[in-house]
Chain A
């Protein structure tokens, strides 16, 4: 899928997510990620990042999925990494589960500190959905 289409979906999704009760001046998702890169303190609404990505994936595939997301933290602040688990509610299959060396992992972890990172993560999920 073209990058432009993914970027547009991310911005639309971010406007929906951040529009709910946020008093400050609305900004673009790209600007929001720049701020996150600078200020990863515990008060930052970091969960808007995975929610925006999930919403964009659902918009682009025109489907709903079950998601679990975690904004990873060390003892001081967000690390900039996010873990995702994605389940197809029709089959209950965990799309992010991966078998390797006899064991099976459930989540995938991505650093998301720029709009390019976000586009790559959306592309990853679009591939997963296509493969499933």
Chain B
């Protein structure tokens, strides 16, 4: 699939999330554990250093499934002095061209050009996961359209 021809619906994204969740469970050799159940525990344990790492993996593998090929990515789990804030910040790079697909620039202060490499979003529930996947796909698509 060409990235430029990328089309997706919310239903496809939800199906892809479920498929990826099942893959992650299989890889971890974990018992059948629904994503809803996981998310119930998620807020309670998100300060555990390992716990929220499942979320970026779930989000990016879903994005890759819709895109149809692997992407290179970096995810920062945003922390303030009180701990993890629930926010994830993604930088996505096309491994074929090494171009940053999440790059944007803005002159929001009317003076300087500011460069942004990341797409960020807070994940508290299932709908937030869907929203963040859509945000990433929209940004990737617009980066490719501009290329």
Contacts and interface: CB of A to CB of B under 8 A. Distances in A.
B4 interface: no
Interface stretch (B12-20, B25-33, B36-44, B90-98): B90-98
Given A92-B99, A92-B103, A94-B99, A106 B81 contact: no
Given A66-B115, A68-B118, A94-B98, A85 B74 contact: yes
Interface in B71-117: 72-74, 76, 79, 81, 89, 91, 93, 95, 97-100, 103, 105, 113, 115-117
Interface in A46-70: 64-68, 70
8 contacts: A64-B113, A68-B118, A87-B100, A89-B103, A89-B105, A103-B72, A104-B93, A104-B95
Interface of B: 47, 49, 72-74, 76, 79, 81, 89, 91, 93, 95, 97-100, 103, 105, 113, 115-118, 143, 147
Interface of A: 42-43, 64-68, 70, 73-75, 83, 85, 87, 89, 91-94, 97, 99, 103-107
Given A70-B76, A104-B93, 16 more contacts: A42-B79, A66-B100, A66-B115, A67-B117, A68-B76, A68-B89, A74-B49, A83-B74, A92-B100, A92-B147, A93-B99, A103-B72, A104-B72, A104-B95, A106-B73, A107-B91
